[in-house]
Each structure stands twice: as C-alpha cells, then as structure tokens.
Amino acid sequence: MKVAQILKTCTRRAVLAAGLALGSAVSATAEEVFVYNWADYFPPELFDKFTEETGIRVRLDVYQSNEELAAKLQAGGTGYDVIVPGDYMVQQLAQQGLLQEIDFKTLENFPNVEGPLKFPVFDPERLYSAPYLHGSTGISYDSEKVGELEESWSVFFDPDPALSGQIVALDDELEMYKAAAMYLDIDYCTEDPAEATRILELLEAQKPHLLMYSSGGSIERMAAREVPMHHHWANGPFRVREEAPSWRMLFPKEGVNLWADNFAIPVGAQNVEGAKAFINFMLEPENIAAATNFNGYANSIPASRDFIDESVVNDRGIYPGEDIETRYVGNRLCSVEARDLRNRVWTRVRS
C-alpha cells in the first residue's frame, strides 16, 4: 500500500501549509488557483515561480490514487481548479461530465508538445486535458544478484528457481493485470471470460514465486537491496542510484505499460482562467523540465531537454530511447464489463 507515501505526504502537507500560510499573510486578497495533485508530485518552488510571474497564489491538496480523485469529484463541491488525472481517468471523468471542455490544444504553449501523448487515445483532440509527466512500468533487477535476463515478462511470471520467493510485485490491479495480459498477448481490456481466466491462472501460478505485493516502500527496499527483483516504475534505479547503483531496468519485449498524467480543469472550478494560466505555465520547457528533474519522470516537451539534468536525461529508465519506446502500451478506459472481469480476477488472486 501507499502508507509510506501517506506518511511522507502528511509531513510535506504540513510544511506546505505552513509555507502557504506565510505566503497568504503577505498578499491577503490575491487571486488563487486550487490545485489537486498526486502526493509528492510537484516541485514546490515552481508554485512560487508561478506566483511571481502571474500574481496568482497556489493552494495545494493531494491524493494517492486516480480512484480517490474520482471519488472526490463525484461527491462534488471540491473547489479544485486544476486536477492531475491519469490517462484512463481523463477518459472516465470526461465521460461522466466532470471535466470542462477547454480545448487545450489552443493554449499558447501547447505547440511545445510532441510525441505520442500530443493527441493520445484517451483524449484524441486534447479537449479535456494537457500532458504533465509520463513514465513506464517494467521490471527492475539488481544486476549484481541476477545474471543475464531475457527481455521478457517470463522472467517475472515464470522466474528462475533461484529467484523464486524473493520477487516483489506492485500492489496494483491495473499494472499486474495488464502485465499478465501483455505477456499472454491478450488485450488488457478483454471482455472474454476465457481470456480473463488465462490471466487469472497466470497470476495465481506466479503468486508462490512472489515475496509480496506492495507499492509502498519500494524505493527503501531497493536501496537496502532487500530483494533481487521488483516490478517497478522505470525511474526506480535512478532514485536509488547512490545507495544501490547495481539496479537496472528491464523493458519486456511483449509490452511495457505507459502511464501518462495530465492537467485538467474540473466542472465547478472557481478560477478557470487562473487554471488555464497555470497549465499554460506548465507547458513551458523550463518549467516542465523542473518537474522532470524533481520527479524523475519524462515529459512530452522535447525543448525541455536543455533544462533537464544530465543524470536524468541519460537515465535508461526515464529516457530509454526509441527502441524501447516502441514497446510502450498506453492506457485507455476499458469497458465496464472488462473492468468488472479485472476486478474479480484481482480479488481472487489476492485472497
């Protein structure tokens, strides 16, 4: 679970609240933008820069998952001006009528955006969202403990007996189900129970080889070199490069999950113009580069590369190069039937 993140968030939130309270004391009546973002996912100094440039203050609230965001928005009355939904969640929120149709491609800085996420499948016209950061999920392994590995999900689902019982999988329904589907060459949005059964069987057969399912504390586990292999977001080895430089990233040939977060403006936003100004600000190369440096995730603005730290640009997990990028499989919103199947498979695997 994300308990470690929650703890971290709470401290961060307290510090931020203190900082923002100080800021508000200075300019009592200034305009404000209320941002609802993932925990620990934005460089605080960028908020200050935005306030300096525009005079608009930023208020921040944070969440831990797309589902938490959706639950909050469905309940209504949030007062958020900017939210940061993941790919499929953009599609779902738009379908539910919870996002404002802004036509983000008309923003002044949108022409900076390039690549597959310029007009992605979850928002093909960029009517509802503009890109923030993206990253992929593959297999990280400790190269000093694990020998040569085939670039395939087989090393994870059907591991070398020497690794059995030491592998960590992400505690994430979509990530695990999609990885299994890609390995079996099945569409992860399948509505066919027979195909879902094959995914279930693969996941159940893998379970004895796993040490645990966990998404929280993974960086600490890798840094302490507790385990030799960890299903992980591709910036993992980068984040532990100082404590444990032997970690490498493996991108399976059958497909690598690409996730992409986006800025959007929810229905009921108090300050739509301020929100647009904020999102436009984040499409400037120098600013999005600061976010990439802070998080270790790639962005969709090539001109930002000049502002990105060497260590980040040259990291094989964060910017793996075009050969690997062709293996990326993006997310779209699966049908209710498909999600229902996925749900049932996951609940069964986990209990």
Site for another protein, rule CB under 8 A? 1, 3, 7, 65, 67-68, 70-71, 74, 92, 95-96, 171-173, 193, 196-197, 200, 207, 210-214, 217, 224, 226, 336, 341, 343-348, 350-351
- Angle at CA 261, nearest 5°, toward 286 and 265? 90
> Tell me, what DSSP letter sits at residue 151?
S
Looking at the Cβ atoms of 1 and 18, the one nearer to another protein is 1
Residue 235 CB, nearest approach to another protein (Å): 22
Looking at the Cβ atoms of 51 and 91, the one nearer to another protein is 91
Looking at the Cβ atoms of 122 and 328, the one nearer to another protein is 122
- Give which of 153, 164, 330, 292 is closest to 231, Cα–Cα: 153
Residues whose CB falls within 8 Å of the CB of residue 203, separated by 6 or more in sequence, listed in order? 176, 177, 180, 345, 349
Residue 151 CB, nearest approach to another protein (Å): 27
Looking at the Cβ atoms of 257 and 299, the one nearer to another protein is 257
CA atoms of 74 and 72, how far apart (whole Å): 6
Beta strands per DSSP E along 202-295:
210-213, 229-233, 247-250, 256-263
For residue 307, with 0-12 CB atoms within 10 Å meaning exposed, 13-18 middle and 19 or more buried, which class applies?
A: middle
CA atoms of 26 and 49, how far apart (whole Å): 15
What is the edge-to-edge ordering of all strands in the sheet holding 82-83?
Answer: 57-63, 32-38, 82-83
Looking at the Cβ atoms of 92 and 262, the one nearer to another protein is 92
Looking at the Cβ atoms of 89 and 288, the one nearer to another protein is 89
CA atoms of 351 and 349, how far apart (whole Å): 6
Residue 140 CB, nearest approach to another protein (Å): 17
